[in-house]
Chain A
Amino acid sequence: MNLAVHLPGLAMKNPILPASGCFGFGKEYAELYNLNLLGAITIKAATGTARYGNATPRVAETDAGMLNAIGLQNPGVDQIMAQELPFLATYDTPIMANVAGSTIEEYVEVAQKISTHPVIKAIELNISCPNVKEGGVQFGTDPALAQTVTAAVKEVSMVPVYVKLSPNVTDITAIASAAEAGGADGLSLINTLTGMQINLASQKPLLANKIGGLSGPAVKPVAIRMVYQVRQVTDLPIIGMGGVTTAEDVLEFLLAGASAVAVGTANFQHPFVCPEIIEQLPAVLEKYGFSSVEDAIGKGHEHADTHLSRT
């Protein structure tokens, strides 16, 4: 079965890619399986200079999910280009660089630099990290700022730009439309939902940062709803994500309107989950009557108004 999808900048063998922040820069998972199996890889967020991130503990398990507040720890864009990207050049899987910043100038600097590297085929513009005081989410919750930063990055980027949207907004379609107006080549959604968990014994929040981003199967219905809504207001390709653990989940995102699907938290539970999903996807697509991935994209919208009439 044809699993290939072609998105701006990303010629993918299949629609599966690990989500940014869950996969480092690929080296650790490369010890477990061949990264050429993946449709693409989104690497950990890059900022202008090195960031240490938040105090520990930075993660906490929740029901069917987890909270994280890593705080964009990374060695800075120059180090990433020098130390991390050469390894990824040994694979024929397209790499998407997640770009973060505190200011428009920082976003522009990082995007300009990293997009010149031959291994980078697309940028994921991270305007949605909830875990840093100044780190983007203000750009992801204000449509005007979202449009401005998207346009500024588009102007300098040598590769297509996917804007990663925050779910922590009242109207996700307003931000999606703003990113499109700013010239985005695609959208990726959702980032994590802000949350908190308090330990009863210590009576303190479980994360040192107190607040973190919720991910995992618990957020999947929110993600599906947002992909579905965004699909209705734009024709931009969507990379869908949020709680994917199975090939069935992937199909659900395709039906909602995603053209590719990222896997995040599930990598922690099952480090081989991405290649397993890729292996199982053809059978799942076939079971529900699809002959390719392209065939399934957006199909959830065609039946939207008819299912209630069946008695």
Chain B
Amino acid sequence: MIHEQLEIISKQYIAKDTVEMTFRGRMAQEKILPGQFLHLLVGEGTNHMLRRPISIAGVDQQASTITIIFKLLGEGTNTLAKAALGDQLDALGPCGQGYPVDDLQLEKALLVGGGIGVPPLYYLAQSLKQKGVHVTMVAGFQNKEHVFYEDQFQLLGTYYLATDDGSAGVKGFVTDIIDAEELDYDQYFTCGPTGMLKAVSTKLSDQEGFISIEQRMGCGIGACFACVVPAPDSASGYKKICKDGPVFRAKEVVLT
């Protein structure tokens, strides 16, 4: 993990309240795994005392750029979105443990993402495809207005889309697609809101899989114990999401 002022080189709205932002910095030369995140300082002065953890959606080492996608959920993300091209954002990163792409032995991967849990899976899909793994992506969004990266995912493998109201793709949840389709895969990888993670990991409990957990964080480096998750089989009984995660083996942690 390094500390760096990252320069914003592009910023665009790619769906309702959803911002894609690309930075240039030497951090892009670090080993960055899908699932790792940037811990971003918000604004100036002391109004925002907590950084925002935002997962990495793409890395281009040649161009030395890192891309993130985030949703406007409150004052912090609104302030982040107001930053202009050429501005520098104070970032810690890459933080946490990502999906262990290098160590995985598999031929076919199932990726399941919900809403703002989709971005790290895009970087994961790219990394897996590069490794020769066939990728099946199941994405879920609230409605058509919130959908993003549909075309990008379709270029990387098989793509299924569900929306809560059926305004795009299938009406229903990602788990409805898992039920309806005969999906062929060796391991699954999921990221999204806790309710979705629970539903997916329960449904696929007989499979090997990885989940990435969202949680409000304090320090982001493992010192403050704000973001923990029960891990009954570990010596301490818990894992720190920011430091030991946010990616875990599905059977390693108990979602609460």
Give B236's nearest chain A residue, CB to CB: A75
- A191 to chain B minimum Cβ distance, whole angstroms, is 15
Give B2's nearest chain A residue, CB to CB: A32
Contact A216 B256 (CB under 8 A): no
State whether the Cβ of A245 lies closer than 8 Å to any Cβ in chain B: yes
Binary contact readout B216-256 vs A (1 if CB under 8 angstroms, 0 otherwise): 11111111111111100000111000010000000000001
State whether the Cβ of A302 lies closer than 8 Å to any Cβ in chain B: no
A266-B49, A268-B51, A271-B3 as given contacts; A59 in contact with B217, CB under 8 Å: yes
Contact B219 A52 (CB under 8 A): no
Contact A269 B51 (CB under 8 A): yes
Q: Which of B40-48, B61-69, B101-109, B179-187 contacts its partner?
A: B40-48
Contact A268 B218 (CB under 8 A): yes
**Closest 6 pairs (CB-CB, A-B):** A24-B223, A28-B223, A59-B226, A57-B216, A217-B46, A61-B50
State whether the Cβ of B76 lies closer than 8 Å to any Cβ in chain A: yes
A28-B221, A60-B216, A216-B46 as given contacts; A52 in contact with B238, CB under 8 Å: yes
State whether the Cβ of A231 lies closer than 8 Å to any Cβ in chain B: no
List, in ascending order, chain A residues with CB within 8 A of B220's CB. 268
From B41, B47, B215, B236, contact of A57 by CB (8 A): B215
Give B50's nearest chain A residue, CB to CB: A61
State whether the Cβ of A300 lies closer than 8 Å to any Cβ in chain B: no
Contact B224 A268 (CB under 8 A): yes
List, in ascending order, chain A residues with CB within 8 A of B3's CB. 32, 271-272
List, in ascending order, chain B residues with CB within 8 A of A245's CB. 46
Contact A61 B48 (CB under 8 A): yes
State whether the Cβ of B92 lies closer than 8 Å to any Cβ in chain A: yes
Contact B223 A216 (CB under 8 A): no
State whether the Cβ of A308 lies closer than 8 Å to any Cβ in chain B: no
Contact A59 B218 (CB under 8 A): yes
Q: What is A's interface to B at a CB cutoff of 8 Å?
A: 21-24, 27-29, 31-32, 44, 50, 52-53, 55-61, 63-66, 68, 70, 73, 75, 216-217, 245, 265-272
Give B237's nearest chain A residue, CB to CB: A52
Please classify the interface of chain B as helix (H, G, I), strand (E, B), loop, or mixed, using the class held by over half of its residues: loop
Q: What is B's interface to A at a CB cutoff of 8 Å?
A: 1, 3, 41, 46-51, 76, 92, 215-230, 236-238, 243, 256
Give B194's nearest chain A residue, CB to CB: A56
List, in ascending order, chain A residues with CB within 8 A of B256's CB. 55-56
The CA-CA distance from A245 to B217 in the complex, in Å, is 19
List, in ascending order, chain A residues with CB within 8 A of B227's CB. 56, 58
Contact B46 A70 (CB under 8 A): no
The CA-CA distance from A40 to B161 in the complex, in Å, is 54
The CA-CA distance from A272 to B237 in the complex, in Å, is 30
The CA-CA distance from A64 to B238 in the complex, in Å, is 30
From B41, B224, B237, contact of A269 by CB (8 A): B41
Contact B226 A58 (CB under 8 A): yes
**Which residue, B46, B49, B227, B228, has most C-beta atoms of chain A within 10 A?**
B49
A216-B46, A268-B49, A269-B50 as given contacts; A73 in contact with B216, CB under 8 Å: no
The CA-CA distance from A274 to B216 in the complex, in Å, is 24
- B221 to chain A minimum Cβ distance, whole angstroms, is 5
Contact A64 B219 (CB under 8 A): no
Contact B226 A70 (CB under 8 A): yes
Cβ contacts A to B, 30 pairs, < 8 Å? A28-B219, A28-B222, A29-B221, A50-B237, A52-B228, A52-B230, A55-B256, A56-B216, A56-B229, A58-B216, A58-B225, A58-B226, A58-B227, A59-B50, A59-B216, A61-B50, A64-B46, A66-B50, A73-B238, A75-B236, A216-B46, A216-B49, A217-B46, A245-B46, A265-B49, A267-B219, A268-B49, A268-B220, A269-B48, A271-B92
Give B213's nearest chain A residue, CB to CB: A56
If A28-B222, A44-B225, A61-B49 are given as contacts, then 10 extra A-B residue pairs at C-beta distance below 8 Å, sorted by A number, are A28-B221, A28-B223, A56-B226, A56-B256, A60-B216, A61-B50, A70-B225, A269-B50, A270-B41, A271-B219
Contact B49 A68 (CB under 8 A): no
Contact B226 A68 (CB under 8 A): yes
Give B46's nearest chain A residue, CB to CB: A217
A70-B226, A216-B49 as given contacts; A61 in contact with B76, CB under 8 Å: yes
- A229 to chain B minimum Cβ distance, whole angstroms, is 24
The CA-CA distance from A167 to B215 in the complex, in Å, is 29
